Amino acid sequence: MYTNSAYWHNTRQDFKDKKHPLFVGSCGTYHLFTRPKLPTHRPRGRLDFQLLYIASGKTHFFFNGTEEIVTAGHMVIYRPKEEQKYYYYGTDQPEVYWVHFTGNNVKNILRQYGIADSSHVIYTGTSLEYKRIFTQMIQELQICRESYEEYLVLLLRQIFIMIQRQSANRPKTLGGYLENEMEAAATYFREHYNTSINIENYTASRGMSISWFIRSFKEFIGFTPMQYILSLRITNAQNLLQNTEYNVTEIADIVGYDNPLYFSRLFKKQSGISPSEFRKKVRKTDN
């Protein structure tokens, strides 16, 4: 299991802030791949809000006693004093980012960004940008540079804006057929991202035209099929660079590229730095 977290003033005690409209108290990430199970149960909840982003894999949440499986591309929000019960299983390979926040105007701020009082699971789509923002939040709260508290709020608001935009761009009315087909396609891509996927063959096997499928998938997920597959490959490559000793050639092969130079070019284009530079950076941060 990989974990990285940060807490305001290094305290794990939850609290309610009444001085600021919005205030970030803690944030972090879990990536479960060896430990069989990681349960969380807070019967009385917490004093603050919690937002969790499922970057990959799937998770098991309970709302009002009913289990709901939440897959990658969604966020879960808990409100103060609300029971929190959820489980991560190693077989599901979940990668989750989280942030706790509080303040005297949080409810109105969430409403401002289209997050309803009654919502628990929010569709966001998968994006390396979410991971980048959460990672930056963790680093800011660990290092505590000048004006870090204000910057943390700006980063959290950036996440809220992305959620709002994703909601605005998603089709307002999704027929059952369309939603089921797009969910099935996303699941198929997640399970086979490291193989040679032919989009035209996939659509033909489902009785769909390729142009209709690509257009519908982008409307539903927020990416074209190939952009989504690329995101999965780069995300998993980042995890391998951070948590294993495989070299770049081996990682390229694992995530679906037989040409390590081509993989490195794609990785740098998506991440801003080369695979070797990424490994040095994240390991220096972890240390």
Residues 41 and 163 grouped into a single domain: yes
- C-alpha distances (whole Å) from 150 to each of 25, 56, 137, 153 are 12, 29, 11, 5
pLDDT of 286: 56
Q: Please, are residues 119 and 78 in contact by the beta-carbon 8 Å criterion? A: no
State whether 16 and 34 are in the same domain.
Answer: yes
Same domain, 182 and 265: yes
Close Cβ partners of 232 (under 8 Å, ≥ 6 residues apart): 56, 126, 189, 190, 193
Domain encompassing residue 182: 176-286
Tokens of 233: 């490959």
Residue 135's nearest CA partner among 287, 283, 282 is 282
The per-residue pLDDT for 99 is 98
Domain finish residue from 135, 169, 203: 169
181 and 159 within one domain: no
Burial class (CB in 10 A: 0-12, 13-18, 19+), 39: exposed
**Same-domain pairing of 15 and 149:** yes
End-to-end CA distance of the chain: 16
What is the model's pLDDT at position 167? 76
pLDDT at residue 32 in the model: 83
CATH code, domain carrying 263: 1.10.10.60
Of 169, 193, 216, the residue at which a domain comes to its end is 169
Please list the ranges in the chain whose pLDDT falls under 50.
173
Instruction: Please check whether residues 192 and 236 belong to one and the same domain.
Output: yes
pLDDT score for 280: 87
Within this chain, do residues 18 and 124 fall inside the same structural domain, yes or no?
A: yes
Q: Which of 113, 138, 169 is the endpoint of a domain?
A: 169
Residues 165 and 25 in one domain: yes
pLDDT tens digit string along 190-215?
889 999 999 999 999 999 999 999 98
Residues with Cβ < 8 Å from 165, sequence gap 6 or more? none
Question: Cα 175 to chain center, whole Å?
Answer: 26
pLDDT for 176: 65
Residues 165 and 181 in one domain: no
- Render pLDDT for 78-92 as a digit per residue (tens, 0 to 9): 999 999 999 999 888
pLDDT of residue 61: 96
58 and 135 housed in the same domain? yes
pLDDT of residue 171: 56
Q: How many domains does the chain have?
A: 2
57 shares its domain with 132:
yes
pLDDT computed for residue 68 by the predictor: 92
Same domain, 156 and 186: no
